Structure 1
Amino acid sequence: MVQVFAHGQLRLYLLALLEDGPRHGYELITALSDRFGGTYRPSAGTVYPRLARLEEEGLVRRSDDGRKATYTLTDAGRAELDARRGDLAHLEAEIAETVRAQASQVRQDVQAAMKGLRADLASAAQQARDAARPVAGAPDPQRTASHRRRVEAEAIVRRFGDEVRADLRRADAGAGVDELTVETLRTVLDTALRTMRSTLR
């Protein structure tokens, strides 16, 4: 995985995340992933050793809660965080710029993929029109096939909408829906709509 945090930055950001209250290790990993719009998710092997080091340094306190360990910021951890507010502000600015760059790359990738799909759909539509040869007095097979495909396409659209709405509700009930998700969804759907309209002309 491409390095996201420079030396010592992840350590600092874990302290900042714990400033809002105690968290499990998994919650910290999820919070980091959410901050990056889901484009970066640190592994447990990255986060837990740093939490252990913070505990050794007396900056966090670990308490076992059943099968999970909860990490809490200590007074020493708060003091370190207060002393490094400038570093934290700089880190937040870097993260915001990284998220913007990743969102831009996602939009470009989606647009490139949809451009290729548009060309493929246009070619397939033209081949279908060229191959159609209606027989006099017989039901128009092209119209019959068209009706069947329309019904199938409408079912696909409904299923897509239902699944996306369900995913959005789950995200909203959990960590929340971030700006990158909305922007990506808008880009994908706008591009898909233009693609479909161009092939249906």
Structure 2
Amino acid sequence: MSPVFSHGDLRLYLLNLLDEGPRHGYDIMQALSDRTGGTYTPSAGTVYPRLAKLEEEGLVTKSVDGRKTVYEITEAGRAEVAARQGDLEGIEAGLTDSVRLIADEVRGSVREAMKSLRADLAAASRTERAEARVTTESDDARARSREQLHRADALVSEFRARVRSDLRGYVARGGELAASLVDDLERTLDDAARTLTRTLQR
């Protein structure tokens, strides 16, 4: 995935956050994660050197409040933010596009996995019916059904593990799992279950 912030954009965005009010370091990092929908979770090694540079440039001051260091924008910093409103609007638009692309990728991955699962289950059901028709041995038919049942169980387990891995990996990388995406997943799984039920009742 391409960087969320282009060269120089993070510096300006930090100033913009401080223009909203004084913040301590952790609050700044949390705000960056929140504003990017979880697509960007900066480290202290990324944020603090840039804050120190802004302080050197006279755009930010810092003070100690207990165990926290609080950063506050200066008048020179406010002037730069005001002068670069057009750049900030472009950054905000880019962040919106980035969050939308991530969400679309996750939805697409879930839909493709569900299509594959439905196709595998339908094929397994057709195979089971075809084999049942060519034999009059009920014991053999039950044995084949048990074999296909094990196969179906394995397919469902594999799908579950793959989707869980994708979703957990996305969240672990700092992604925000939208409720709408989980709702889509729930509806798709319900559709797959109903399709399977109808197929088995034929």
TM-score range, shorter chain: 0.5 to 0.7
What is the identity, as a one-letter code, of the residue corresponding to 1:91? I
- Hey, what's the Cα distance between the residues in 2 that align with 1:30 and 1:46? 13
Question: 3-state DSSP class of the match of 1:39?
Answer: coil
> Is the 2:59–2:76 contact (alpha carbons within 8 Å) kept by the matching residues of 1?
yes
TM-score for the superposition, normalised by structure 1: 0.66
Cα deviation 1:94-115 (Å, max 9, x = unaligned): 2112222222112111212333
| CA 1:75–1:199: 2 relative to 1, 3 Å | same
> Is the 1:13–1:88 contact (alpha carbons within 8 Å) kept by the matching residues of 2?
yes
Name stretches of at least 5 consecutive residues in structure 2 with no aligned partner. Answer: 133-137, 140-145, 147-175
Name stretches of at least 5 consecutive residues in structure 1 with no aligned partner. Answer: 135-141, 143-177
1:71 maps to what in 2? 71
What is the identity, as a one-letter code, of the residue corresponding to 1:67? R
1:24 maps to what in 2? 24
The question of 1:3 aligning with 2:3 is answered yes
Instruction: Count residues with an aligned counterpart.
Output: 157
Give, in angstroms, the shift of residue 77 of structure 1: 0.9
| CA 1:56–1:119: 2 relative to 1, 3 Å | same
Q: Identity rate of aligned residues, in percent?
A: 55
Give, in angstroms, the shift of residue 125 of structure 1: 7.6
What is the identity, as a one-letter code, of the residue corresponding to 1:196? A
| CA 1:77–1:119: 2 relative to 1, 3 Å | same
> After TM superposition, which residue ranges in structure 1, 4 or more long, deviate above 6 angstroms?
123-131
> Is the 1:111–1:191 contact (alpha carbons within 8 Å) kept by the matching residues of 2?
yes
> Is the 2:4–2:39 contact (alpha carbons within 8 Å) kept by the matching residues of 1?
no
2:143 maps to what in 1? none
Give, in angstroms, the shift of residue 67 of structure 1: 2.6
Question: 3-state DSSP class of the match of 1:15?
Answer: helix
Bigger Rg, which one: 2
Give, in angstroms, the shift of residue 79 of structure 1: 0.8
- Hey, what's the Cα distance between the residues in 1 that align with 2:74 and 2:128? 69
What is the identity, as a one-letter code, of the residue corresponding to 2:184? T
| CA 1:78–1:40: 2 relative to 1, 3 Å | same
